[in-house]
Amino acid sequence: MYRLLALDLDGTMLNPDKMITPMTRSSIQQLISAEVNVTIASGRFPASVWSHAKEVSMNFPLVALNGAVTVDPLTGQLLDGVALKIEDMLFMLDIIQQEGAYIHFYGYNVLYVQEINDINRNWAINNRVNRPELDSFEERDELDAIEADLIRFVEVGKDFRTFVNQMPGMLFKAAVICTDHDSRENLFRTLEESGLFQCTRTGSLRFDVNSAGVSKRGALERLCHAHQIEREQVAAAGDYDNDLDMLQWAGLGIAMGNAELHVKEIANVVTGSNAEDGVAQAIHTFLL
């Protein structure tokens, strides 16, 4: 019997319109009613993970920023975190600047950017909960304002090195965006081979950087140890590279129908896509 289901957000629990469908919502709540714990394990901000968890009444600790932090499901506050080291971030900045790539840093619900631009302008609002049932633009605007306040957006200026030196223990993840394929792959390889970082591809133009050893799997292992849950009692669902270790580790690794081929190949089972309520299908097929 499974005691925990861990769900990625984008491409998994959320449909292509970034919404929790009624079927997915109902299935998760049925599972919780059956006394199975359900959590989110995502690369997103803690506030975004917490807001989505509240939508379906999750009460198990949550995983955000690719496993760099765990989040209290009731308050949204930090339970535990693994920050990037200052000296490692300075090394990272040197490498990034040599390639002329874009980078920003994640604090706990704070996005730090050198300057506001087209890449980052809508980052915070894109982490909101989308509710299709809202009746008016006024309701949408009011909710946007509330949820945008949960994630602060800070412009720190051109001198990222000075800023980083002043932030010990406060930065948990970096996102690197580069439109040139060769430069992006060179950056990924250089940072990964340094042994200082855990790098994961999270899109066609970007990758995330955490401290070495940080992963969704690692965070889930710690939570399961604290709650006396065995690995074999864990099911996990995901679709992309930052889900690989979580799916391989779980007793039941579930790849979404829209997952990359290499993700499907390492999973135990493949469910429907996120456009087909694949999470709900998996819950009813394997867990309820």
Band of residue 132 on the pLDDT scale cut at 50, 70, 90: low
Task: Please state, in angstroms and rounded to a whole number, the distance separating the CA atoms of residues 205 and 105.
Answer: 17
Band of residue 130 on the pLDDT scale cut at 50, 70, 90: confident
Q: What is the residue whose two structure tokens read 């800023």?
A: 163
The pLDDT assigned to 127 comes to 78
Strands (DSSP E) found in 78-166: 78-81, 102-106, 110-113, 152-155
Q: Is the pLDDT of residue 67 over 50?
A: yes
Contacts of 189 (CB under 8 A, 6+ apart): none
- Per CATH, which fold does 4-81+214-287 belong to? Rossmann fold (3.40.50)
Q: Is the pLDDT of residue 169 over 90?
A: no
The pLDDT assigned to 120 comes to 81
Output 231-235 pairs: Cβ under 8 A, ≥24 positions apart. Answer: 233/1, 233/2, 233/3, 233/4, 234/2, 234/3, 234/4, 234/5, 234/6, 235/2, 235/4, 235/5, 235/6, 235/282, 235/286, 235/287
Task: Please state, in angstroms and rounded to a whole number, the distance separating the CA atoms of residues 236 and 63.
Answer: 13
Task: Please state, in angstroms and rounded to a whole number, the distance separating the CA atoms of residues 280 and 259.
Answer: 16
Band of residue 143 on the pLDDT scale cut at 50, 70, 90: very low
Please tell us whether the domain made up of 86-211 is placed in CATH 3.30.1240.10: yes
Do 19 and 132 form a contact (C-beta atoms < 8 A)?
yes
What are the tokens at 77? 């506050």
The pLDDT assigned to 11 comes to 96
- Mean local confidence (pLDDT), 48-72: 96
Q: Is the pLDDT of residue 170 over 70?
A: yes
The 10s digit of each residue's pLDDT in 94-104 is 999 888 899 99
Q: Is the pLDDT of residue 145 over 60?
A: no
Task: Please state, in angstroms and rounded to a whole number, the distance separating the CA atoms of residues 158 and 115.
Answer: 7
Q: How many CB atoms lie within 10 A of CB 129?
A: 15
- The region that residue 213 occupies, defined by phi over 0 for left and psi between -120 and 50 for alpha, beta otherwise, is left
- Mean local confidence (pLDDT), 192-221: 95
In this structure, the strands spanning 110-113 and 152-155 are parallel
Question: Within the chain, which residue ranges are assigned CATH 3.40.50.1000?
Answer: 4-81+214-287
From 65-74, 151-160, 258-267, the region with the lowest mean pLDDT: 151-160
- Mean local confidence (pLDDT), 159-186: 91
104-115 in b/e burial notation, b at 16+ Cβ within 10 A? bbbbbbbbbbbe
Average pLDDT taken over every residue of the chain:
91
The pLDDT assigned to 133 comes to 56
The pLDDT assigned to 148 comes to 54
**Rounded (10°) angle between helices 181-193 and 86-99:** 160
- Mean local confidence (pLDDT), 1-29: 96
Q: Is the pLDDT of residue 45 over 60?
A: yes
Q: Is the pLDDT of residue 135 over 50?
A: no
Q: Is the pLDDT of residue 4 over 80?
A: yes
Percent over 70 (pLDDT), the chain: 93
DSSP 228-278: T--GGGEEEEE-SGGGHHHHHHSSEEEE-TTS-HHHHHHSSEE---TTTTH
The pLDDT assigned to 183 comes to 93
Phi and psi angles of residue 4, each rounded to the nearest 5 degrees, phi first: -150, 135
Q: Is the pLDDT of residue 144 over 70?
A: no
Q: Is the pLDDT of residue 86 over 50?
A: yes
Type of residue numbered 70: T
Higher pLDDT, 286 or 142: 286
The pLDDT assigned to 136 comes to 45
Size of the chain, expressed as the number of residues it contains: 288
